[in-house]
Every structure is written in structure tokens, then in C-alpha cells.
Amino acid sequence: MIISSDFDSGNIIFLRERNGQDIDLEIRKDSNSDFFQWFYFKASELEPGTEYSFHITNAGKSSYPEGWKIQNIPFSEDGKNWKRVKSHFQNGILSFSLKPIGESAEFAYFVPYQLDRHKKLIETAKGSSLFHNHIKGKSADNRDLDLIHLCNGKEAKKKVWILARQHPGESMAEWFMEGLIERLVSKSDSGIELFKEAELFLIPNINPDGSYLGNLRSNARGANLNREWDRADPERSPEVLFALQQMDEYGVDICLDIHGDEDIPYVFGSGAEGNPGFNEKLAEIDSTFRSNWQEINPDFQMEFGYDRDDPGKADLSLCTNQVSQRYNCFALTIEMPFTDNHNDPDEEFGWSPEKSMKLGRSSVDAILSILPMI
Ligand SMILES: [Zn+2]
């Protein structure tokens, strides 16, 4: 039996094997940071039909230990189709077992979204007649940071920004972007309507280093990018600096920042209501967007989520708050569950890439519905 994680998005430390069937593992910390929770590894040279139990022995010390209580683990035996295996969290150890059909299996905190798929996504966007420009930034480790500008050729008044994976372990955010981009380039009716009024600026993965390195929340320098928007730095957080420079150049009327949440088993939004510049108009756009989206796709809901910020108490280092304040625009953080949507539970797949993509597709209609208010 061999455990490996030396590949794109991989993260695990092999500790020991007991009785040939119990495997003790640890999650490695993010680069230059104490965060850890994301893992992704492959087990190979397995005996088909034998039950193996995997134990992540430092799960209780991870960044969001409460999340393990509701988390069943995504696994795949062919690298393509992912299901969930029951997991148990006891005495700080996360355990799950599998009787493999074949000789290998892989396990991850969420279904990974790797660089080769990212590259295909960028090519899909570039192949569209709506493609206008591919603006390349650079990450701290000099990886490409892709910004795709889509428009119908005529300059539109409204600039819509959607970015994902500030927290690289939240791979559902890039599955969301894939659904969104496919919908946009398919020239659906609402897609065509949208481009009459708006241009889109899309950053499907704003943290390519952290994604490749198998981090949960940090970039290669250990920065939590979603705490850098009031202090973006060319050494520490060039990814955020790049996004802000481009936003300054083109302007922002709507911004969605796509995430996953470890603890809350629902899809929800988190707004800029604590900003000093938050006003009645922004509040009305915010609540209209949320209730319309809920009607369009009930996976999005408004009952569960984070506590709302008190007026004037917003943390302006967060993307949503900084962007809303800086451009006096509507901005919203979108959170999807790692585990499942408890309004529509699915024991076999949990919250999945398919549901993330569906949410991404449906966001087009929700954005379209508020354009007259912008
Ligand atoms: Zn996040």
C-alpha cells in the first residue's frame, strides 16, 4: 500500500501503517501559515475487496475542527467519478474506511479542481465569440493569474466581477466558475440579455499557488488573500494587488466573491452591510439579489449564514467589503458547503461539483434580475 500526495493540489503526510489495514495520516500546514484542513491523496497498491481504514490524526487541531462532525469524505476509484464515504470524528481523529473495487483510490476534502482543468476552462472562455481579452497577472510564485474579460463587442455600462478561490482549498468555488462560464459562452437567452447591459470580468482562480500547493486558505507566502484587500502588497499578496489594479482601471458595479464554508451546511451570501458607505440603495439591491436567487435556485437560501456586521463595523480587508466601499457598488461573498446542503441532503454525493456548477449557472439569472437597479 502506497500513499502519495506529490501532485497538483496534493496534501497529506503518511505516518504509519498498522496491521496492513489501518493507515495513520496527518494534514500538512499551509505554506508559511498555520492553517490546515485541505487534504488530497491517493492510496495505491491496495488489495481489492480488503477494507482499509484511514485516520487523520491531527484533524482535531485543524482550522475548523467542528466541520469534521458533519463531513463525509469525497473519494474516487477512477479519478473521475466522486462519491462520499462515511466519516467519523472522535477524540480529534477523523476516520473513514473503504473496501476498494480496484487497486487504488483517492480521497480529498472536496473534489479537486486542478490546473489542467483550469487551463481547459480558460480555453473554453477564449473560444467564445464573447471573449474580449485575457489579462494575465502573476502569483507570488510566478504562476499565471488569469482574468477573462467577456463582452459583446460594444462597451456596456455595467461591469460585473466574479472571482473565486481566494481560499484555494475551496475548490467548489472553481466548479461554480465552470458552470457560470459554460452558461455564459453557450449564448443562452439570459446570457445574451446580460451582455446587452454588462461586461464580465472573471477570475476563476485568484490563488493558483495555494491551489497547486494543496493549501486551505493561504497563498505561497502564507497570506490569507481575503484579509489583504486594504493592504495588498506586491511581495505578500500580488494576486489581490493585480485584481484591485484591474478593478481600478475598468470599474466595478457588481462583485461576487465565491467561497466554501467548513461549518455551515447551506449555501448563503454574506454582504457589505457593516461598511461605512453602505446605504439604502445597496441594501435594496442586496436583498433583491438574494431573494431572486433563492427563487431561481433554492440551493441558495437566506435563513442560515454568518451574523450580519453591525453598521460601521465591517472589516475592510475582506474583498466584498473593500470592493463595495471603494467602488460604492453591490458586492457579495457566496458560501457553499463542503459537506452537504441540509435543505436537500444527498448521502451519496453530498454538496458536489454538479451542484456547484448549477449554482454558478443560475447566478447568471440572479445577476440579470438586478441589472435594472444598478
Ligand atoms: Zn473562503
pLDDT in tens, 247-256: 999 999 999 9
pLDDT in tens, 232-245: 999 999 999 999 99
258 has pLDDT over 80: yes
CA 158 to centroid of ligand 1, rounded, Å: 26
CA 216 to centroid of ligand 1, rounded, Å: 9
Among residues 360, 361, 372, which one has the least CA distance to residue 171?
360
The pLDDT value recorded for residue 25 is: 98
Residue 304 burial by Cβ neighbours in a 10 Å radius (0-12, 13-18, 19+): middle
pLDDT in tens, 114-131: 999 999 999 999 999 999
The pLDDT value recorded for residue 297 is: 98
CA 278 to centroid of ligand 1, rounded, Å: 22
CA 355 to centroid of ligand 1, rounded, Å: 18
The pLDDT value recorded for residue 359 is: 98
The pLDDT value recorded for residue 189 is: 75
The pLDDT value recorded for residue 289 is: 98
As a whole number of Å, the end-to-end CA separation of the chain is 57
* pLDDT, the chain, mean: 97
pLDDT in tens, 144-177: 999 999 999 887 789 999 999 999 999 999 999 9
Residues carrying an active site annotation: 335
Mean pLDDT for 265-269 is 98
The pLDDT value recorded for residue 283 is: 98
Q: Which amino acid is at 76?
A: S
| CA 239 to mean position of chain CA atoms | 16
Among residues 47, 58, 56, 48, which one has the least CA distance to residue 20?
47
